[in-house]
Structure 1
Amino acid sequence: MSNVLDHPAVDRPKVVRIGVLGCGNVGAALIDIVRNRADVVEQRTGIRLEVTRVAVRNISAPRDVEVGEDVLTRDAMGVVTDPDIDLVVESIGGIEPARELILAALAHGKPVVTANKELLANVGAELYAAADEAGRDLLFEAAVAAGIPFVRVLRESLYGEPITRILGIINGTTNYILTKMTDAVDAGGDADYSAALKDAQSLGFAERDPTADVEGYDAGAKAAIIATVAFGKKVVAGDVYHQGISNVTASEIAIARRLGYVVKLLGIVERDPSSDEISVRVHPTMVPDQHPLATVRDSFNAIFVEGDYVDSALFYGRGAGGAPTASAVFGDVIDAAINLRAGTHGSVGALGKATIKPIDETSAEYLLGLDVADQPGVLHAVTGVFAEHGVSIRVAEQEGNGPDARLVFITHVARESDVQATVRELNGLEAVLAVGGLIRVIGN
């Protein structure tokens, strides 16, 4: 990628004509930004950005930005193959026809900017290779964390860093819901998941069907892209382990708070330096109060990087919304326009085959709560099951008495398969009335 400032002038067209596919929240916001910032960009780069074609499904539909009828078209393929279009922005989402349109744009010599995480998490390797073959940019800063400029950091500043782990709050919907539930617990009230979700929907943070967000699929797609760029390996959405937040209870959040933790939905990307295996997973996680991610509230996102040389670094900002996403798209548009004028392009590089570590082979600390009969020998029987499977207990507490008795455990670092075997056997104990959710714990 290129520096926006002081780029050397070359003998190429001053005006870069942009074709935008889709005019929803992101597309409309981008058009507005291009209009408002075109003069500044021209002053600093010598390039004039103009949106000259916008492909939409319904020309007569109301939209958040004024676009002339001579600019609007229903023919998206016509836009990407038009010789009068220099650069394409894809903001229609989904896999098809977005994939076909991007491939066509690249084949016609046009750089492409996209925020399409679903597309890149499934067929990104094909698109990156097509971009390299065409000698054109395929830029996707907004696909991972909207307004947070993180992809560029991975592709440039941390390109040579031996990254060991990336922890990300990369879904604003779930972070908002868990923040509201945590606040309710801290205030002495009941952390009701359904009420928090309804609140998120009323504010526009959650879709009418929130499944992709609350079950971790949105964060999983982003985690796959992060892993691909961070480690130079082909990681797809199907490689990611998902566990959402819909079963997180007020009791689990209260236990976490009492023990000095906050529950967050994290995307976790790790590389085992001894085997070069990659673990990519999304699940609720107990984060220590003193960890920087514990303070990330509401719909904000944050990504925490750990590496051999950089030690640790935190990136924080708006991870969703039309304007923050369009801001990241706009940055990519400027970069792609400069590279087009210079006759160069960026690349994620050749992607190797990823060896994915199954979730059963990962290790962590775990929180587990058990509803038990209040009778002699229960604690001995339960801890015996832990010991039988080689799972060491770090914290053990009892809450309540009689029919409300509950045992709460936090383990030392243990293998996932051993913990799951422990849970299965505990479910079979007569004295165990119910086994609560399993929440993984990260260290400081």
Structure 2
Amino acid sequence: MKHIKIGLLGLGNIGKGVWNIVENNKDKVENYLGNSLEIKKILVRNIHKNRDINVPEEILTTNPKEIIQDPEIDIIVEVIGGIDTAFEYIKESFQNGKHVVTANKAVIATHGDILHKLAKASGVSLRYEASVGGGIPIINTLTQSLSANKFDEIVGIINGTTNYILTQMSDFGMDFNEALKLAQEKGYAEADPTSDIEGEDAAFKLSILISEAFGIRISPKDIPREGITKISKKDIEYASQLGYKIKLFATAKKDENNFKFYVHPTLIPINHPLASVSNEFNALFIRGNAVGELMLYGKGAGSMPTGSAVVGDILEIGKLIETDYKAQSTDSFKETDLNIIGEGIGQYYIHTEVIDEPGVLGKIASTFSRYDISLKSVVQRARGNHFVPLIFITHEVDRSQLDKALEEIKSNGLVNEIASILRVENL
């Protein structure tokens, strides 16, 4: 029996999950591989730190070279996060002939092309199932189980922090700050939650999904995105009254010859399966030309679910180690006939606070009309205050055209605030 040895870079939340799974499921692993797994060395910042995990201190190190340059180690598992340092560690691992597994969506979304080429040049494997969706097998489903499909649409909830916050606002009437504080107390949000609540985390993941499903490389920086910080309890209430729930959606879809992609808070029909995805759970709705419609669902974060995906990648590499493995070409099929347009056209929910006086609705509607924007619904709420909420849902409109109309509406002195602009999807 061969002993496949692993170097683990990082012993945070995900690293602990990897350790626990490898240690506690040894019989299952050996039965599957016909070989054993051993975590030989672990990179940490502080060897003597008290940890809620039973790891022998002698296998801990603060020197990455002890792991990356160790000729006995077959697989490097990178779970330190971040971009620059992780990129250098992965690159050095390839140069030393190591296979690499990572859960790092930021480094894959930013430097995936380079890393794939380096892995191929070194004849080793790069795997990153855990980078999107935690324990949900999204990458393998797209690239293996559904590899015969051309995809028309991938849309879903791929950030557990924002979904947890929106669930608390929807189900328990919390405002945004209350829900965020609870998410931090529960460990679902970081002390600095900016990347999650501003949509950056979802943009990293969507960039990876677009590459895997459509063969199109879109930098995370080029993905139109908006976070959830402007969503109020009133928006949640109004959406419910209109038959919708609000979710932070990551979307990539073909629309005739156009390819649209964005991360945006979105109203979806309350009876759609994605509307029932709550708390830290993630879900991805996929439409392929062969498989039709399907949905993947599960925990999108957490030590054990994400660790499970990492160990799954380790096992797949383990099966290849004793074969004549050669890294496969990473040149993906590309939808060359598509216009890459970003957010494009869509329906929008617009929550305004306007002066409570006669004629305001007519003047705003006239402005929309001048910009060829037609309205599907208009809802005016209780009168009696100096400012009152006025809610619009548009028919399909180009976002840039909508922004021009709203700029004119804001300048006419009748609107105190445009509180939120959310997309509307009737999936």
Q: TM-score range by the shorter chain?
A: over 0.9
Does 2:187 align with 1:218?
A: no
From 360, 363, 376, the equivalent of 2:345 is: 363
Task: Give a deviation string over 1:128-171, Cα, whole Å, max 9, x none.
Answer: 11112222110101011111110111111222311122112111
> 1:353 deviation in Å?
10
Preserved CA contact (<8 Å) 1:239 1:280? no
Rate the CA distance shift 1:74–1:233 in 2: closer, same or farther, 3 A: same
> 1:297 deviation in Å?
0.5
The equivalent of 1:287 in structure 2 is 268
The equivalent of 1:7 in structure 2 is none
Which residue type is aligned with residue 23 of structure 2? R
Does 2:245 align with 1:262?
A: yes
Does 2:74 align with 1:86?
A: yes
Which residue type is aligned with residue 440 of structure 1? R
From 144, 155, 164, the equivalent of 2:132 is: 144
> 1:250 deviation in Å?
1.3
The equivalent of 1:44 in structure 2 is 32
Aligned pairs for 1:162-201 within 5 A: 162-185=150-173, 191-201=174-184
Aligned pairs for 1:328-347 within 5 A: 328-344=309-325, 347=328
Aligned pairs for 1:268-307 within 5 A: 268-275=251-258, 278-307=259-288
> 1:192 deviation in Å?
1.1
The equivalent of 2:301 in structure 1 is 320
From 383, 395, 411, the equivalent of 1:401 is: 383
Distance 1:381 1:74 in 2: 66
Rate the CA distance shift 1:221–1:400 in 2: closer, same or farther, 3 A: same
Preserved CA contact (<8 Å) 1:142 1:328? yes
The equivalent of 2:96 in structure 1 is 108
- Mean Cα deviation higher: 246-255 or 157-166: 157-166
Preserved CA contact (<8 Å) 1:19 1:79? yes
TM-score, normalised by the number of residues in structure 1: 0.91
SS class of match (2:358):
coil
From 357, 364, 387, the equivalent of 1:382 is: 364
The equivalent of 1:57 in structure 2 is 45
> 1:347 deviation in Å?
4.6
SS class of match (1:17):
strand
Distance 1:346 1:153 in 2: 19
Which residue type is aligned with residue 388 of structure 1? R
From 378, 393, 405, the equivalent of 1:422 is: 405
Distance 1:415 1:388 in 2: 14
Which residue type is aligned with residue 378 of structure 2? A
SS class of match (1:265):
strand
Preserved CA contact (<8 Å) 1:81 1:108? yes
- Mean Cα deviation higher: 328-337 or 401-410: 401-410
Rate the CA distance shift 1:371–1:72 in 2: closer, same or farther, 3 A: closer
Preserved CA contact (<8 Å) 2:286 2:293? yes
From 139, 142, 154, the equivalent of 2:142 is: 154
Rate the CA distance shift 1:76–1:271 in 2: closer, same or farther, 3 A: farther
Distance 2:415 2:68 in 1: 62
Preserved CA contact (<8 Å) 1:224 1:239? no
The equivalent of 2:21 in structure 1 is 33
> 1:307 deviation in Å?
2.2
SS class of match (2:57):
coil
Rate the CA distance shift 1:231–1:76 in 2: closer, same or farther, 3 A: same
Distance 1:25 1:106 in 2: 25
For structure 1, which runs of at least 5 residues remain unmatched after alignment?
A: 1-12, 186-190
- Mean Cα deviation higher: 291-300 or 132-141: 132-141
> 1:358 deviation in Å?
4.6
Distance 2:421 2:324 in 1: 53
> 1:194 deviation in Å?
0.7
Does 2:423 align with 1:443?
A: no
Distance 2:186 2:238 in 1: 28
Which residue type is aligned with residue 287 of structure 1? I
Rate the CA distance shift 1:273–1:113 in 2: closer, same or farther, 3 A: farther
SS class of match (1:433):
strand
Task: Give a deviation string over 1:204-242, Cα, whole Å, max 9, x none.
Answer: 111111111111111111111111111112222212122
> 1:430 deviation in Å?
2.9
SS class of match (1:342):
coil
The equivalent of 2:55 in structure 1 is 67
SS class of match (1:406):
strand
Distance 1:70 1:401 in 2: 70
Preserved CA contact (<8 Å) 1:111 1:340? no
Preserved CA contact (<8 Å) 2:119 2:327? no
Distance 2:297 2:372 in 1: 38
Distance 2:92 2:415 in 1: 60
Distance 2:215 2:19 in 1: 33
Rate the CA distance shift 1:287–1:353 in 2: closer, same or farther, 3 A: closer
From 268, 271, 292, the equivalent of 1:311 is: 292
The equivalent of 1:18 in structure 2 is 6
SS class of match (1:242):
coil
> 1:356 deviation in Å?
7.7
Task: Give a deviation string over 1:342-367, Cα, whole Å, max 9, x none.
Answer: 232565721569988454x6111101
